[in-house]
Amino acid sequence: MARIVVDAMGSDAFPTPDVEGAVWAAREYGAEIILVGDENIIKPVLAKQNTEGLKISIVNAPEMLTMEDKGENLVLKARSKDAKNSMAVGIDLVKNGEADAFVTAGNTGAGMVTALFRLGRIRGVDRPALAPIFPTATGTCVVLDIGANPDCKPENLYQFGILGSIYAEKVRGVKNPKVGLVSNGEEEGKGNELVKGATKLFKTSKLNYFGNVEGKEVIGGKVDVAVTDGFTGNVMLKSSEAVAKLITDKIREIIKNGSILTKIGGILVRPALRQIKQLLDPSEQGAAPLLGINGLVFIGHGRSDTLAIKSAIRVAKHAVDVKVLDAMKSAIEESLKN
């Protein structure tokens, strides 16, 4: 049985979505859940849930990391041996072998820094990368990095490609995933010096390298893994989310303010619109994996609801079940021999 640690103090509306999502996931997926956080806040919420037959426990962590924790203050809290915040305590459970994966909807930067200091990196990985799943015309695409590393070297992108390829294969079920480099043109030779330098590494690798891809190719489903630096990836993510929201909001507005025929049409297409909303809803994926860390860590939106927490636990459990961490370690180890 996979043991998943859930940061009960993570979401903006903690601990209700975190606890309710954890209970829902425990019931549906059969995972063992360890809730970490202030037990005086968690217990009343958990007591309202039907937990009969479920394996759910609480580990007390009276402190929490917030958006106010930055710079040196964050580093001190992230690496202190005596840290009592929910992220540090939860990640230590993974480090000590008492749990298999950690899920949080807390401060992304705090989650990354805490995981890096307490778990360390996979041997051969210089920097970890956040890798969310983008919906595409043909399915999904793993995009990395989307914010952990604004400035990268070609070697970093190459490592991202290896990690993303293994994740797409093991967790997403994609056989021999196609890996592309995000650039401002499809043709080889396009892109900045970072892309050109990374191209040389990808071309001589054992990855199923597709070549350069523009944003439209990523959304069009041309590749299964899209590799970029954290600055570009974050812009892609935020822009995609904004466009998706704009489209759905405009459709609702047009239907609401339209003629009787438009309103009737809106009713008829409602099932299709519901499917599109589900496709674009980040709650369906729940959280993005932090790849390259020597442990399984998943970080979600602060605005995560119950469904998002449940989904994050589902993805984390699956990653545990398919032994994705071992596969990434082996792939990186093999790359060091080349």
Greater pLDDT, 74 or 285: 74
Please tell me the predicted confidence (pLDDT) of residue 260: 85
Query: pLDDT tens digit string along 237-263?
Result: 888 888 888 888 888 888 888 888 887
211: left (phi over 0), alpha (psi -120 to 50) or beta: left
Nearest to 61 by CA among 118, 4, 8, 117: 8
pLDDT tens figures, 257-283: 888 888 777 777 777 667 666 665 665
**Structure tokens belonging to residue 164:** 């993303």
Q: What is the pTM of this model?
A: 0.90
Query: pLDDT > 70: what percent of the chain?
Result: 96
Q: Among residues of the chain, what percentage have pLDDT more than 90?
A: 66
- Asked if domains 3-129+285-330 and 133-283 share a fold, the reply is yes
In contact, 83 and 29? CB cutoff 8 Å: no
Question: Is the model's pLDDT at 115 over the cut of 80?
Answer: yes
The residue with greater pLDDT, 229 or 74, is 229
Q: Is the predicted pLDDT of residue 338 greater than 80, yes or no?
A: no
Cβ atoms of 240 and 157 closer than 8 Å: no
* C-beta of residue 33 within 8 angstroms of C-beta of residue 85: no
Strongest mean pLDDT among 74-78, 79-83, 125-129 = 125-129
Nearest to 180 by CA among 115, 109, 236: 236
Q: What is the mean pLDDT of the chain?
A: 90
**What local confidence, expressed as pLDDT, does residue 261 receive?**
80
Does the pLDDT value for residue 78 go beyond 90?
no
Homologous superfamily of the 133-283 domain (CATH): Isopropylmalate Dehydrogenase (3.40.718.10)
Best-predicted range by mean pLDDT (63-77, 259-273, 317-331): 317-331
For the chain, give every domain's residue range.
3-129+285-330, 133-283
User: What would the pLDDT profile of 134-152 be if each residue is shown by its tens digit?
Assistant: 889 888 899 998 888 889 9
What is the C-alpha R_g of the chain?
A: 21
CATH architecture of 3-129+285-330: 3-Layer(aba) Sandwich (3.40)
Q: Is 218 helix (H, G, I), strand (E, B) or coil?
A: helix
pLDDT band with cut points at 50, 70 and 90 for residue 61: very high
Alpha helix (H) residue ranges in 131-269: 154-170, 193-203, 215-219, 230-257, 260-268
- Comparison of pLDDT for 335 and 201, the residue scoring more: 201
In this predicted structure, the answer to whether residue 70 has a pLDDT above a threshold of 80 is: no
CB within 8 Å of 201: residues ≥ 6 apart:
154, 155, 157, 158
**Mean pLDDT, rounded, for 228-236:** 92
